Structure 1
Amino acid sequence: MTDLSASNVKFTSRLLEAYGLLIELTDEQNEVTVYRIVSEFQIDTGTYAVLQKDTVIPEDNVEILKIIDDADGQPELVTIDDDDEWEDVAELYDELTLPFED
């Protein structure tokens, strides 16, 4: 079983180093949206990016995507198709960012 606790998180900056703070993503309708990289981290199940539209306030929703390597070894973002994997990563991100409660 994979341990998805905050203590096993390794923060990375591959996207930031490759593309800078802002990333343009194109959706299925070929509409381009600019996102800001909020966080990048690696756990046993893979490497993930948390992105936020550059036009929203910090409390608004974030997008969580998986980082994979393309054929040239460059980081590429893909949708997390597995609902359980997405839920686990989203809960872990919440654990990393929400204030500690006693």
Structure 2
Amino acid sequence: MPNKLSDLRQQYGDSVELVTDDGSSLTFRILAELTVQGSQYAILQSESMKQEDEIEVFKIVADDNGEAQLETVTDAEEWELVEEAYDDSQFGNDDQP
């Protein structure tokens, strides 16, 4: 059975719209998808976050139909581990000072 979570962009395109706690929606650009310690994550960034050079980390999980869904990462250690893996993937090359 193929893994439907391997490419979030296949399901959503280059951006995803999420509903916030207050019921409004916010569009995030999908910057990257990573596998860290066996779990899959998405690195997202809204337009306002881009100005502040901030990112958001979400865990990619499958719903009952096998479709990719995003879960907020609330554990600080998990969040930092994924952020570090993202940074390494971005700067772990010749661009690193």
**TM-score, normalised with respect to structure 1:** 0.76
Change in 2 beyond 3 A, CA 1:45/1:85: farther
2:58 is the counterpart of 1:48: no
Corresponding residue of 2:11: 18
CA distance in 1, matches of 2:20, 2:50: 21
Higher helix share goes to which structure? 2
Change in 2 beyond 3 A, CA 1:38/1:44: same
Q: CA RMSD in A?
A: 2.0
Structure 1: unaligned runs, 5 residues or longer: 1-11
Change in 2 beyond 3 A, CA 1:88/1:66: same
Aligned length: 90
2:86 is the counterpart of 1:93: yes
CA distance in 2, matches of 1:32, 1:74: 20
**Aligned partner of 1:84: which letter?**
E
CA distance in 2, matches of 1:56, 1:43: 23
Give CA-to-partner distance per residue, 1:24-63, whole Å, 9 cap, x none. 0001101100111100111224100001114664762111
Percent same amino acid among aligned pairs?
Answer: 33
2:86 is the counterpart of 1:71: no
Structure 2: unaligned runs, 5 residues or longer: none
Change in 2 beyond 3 A, CA 1:47/1:31: same
**TM-score, normalised with respect to structure 2:** 0.80
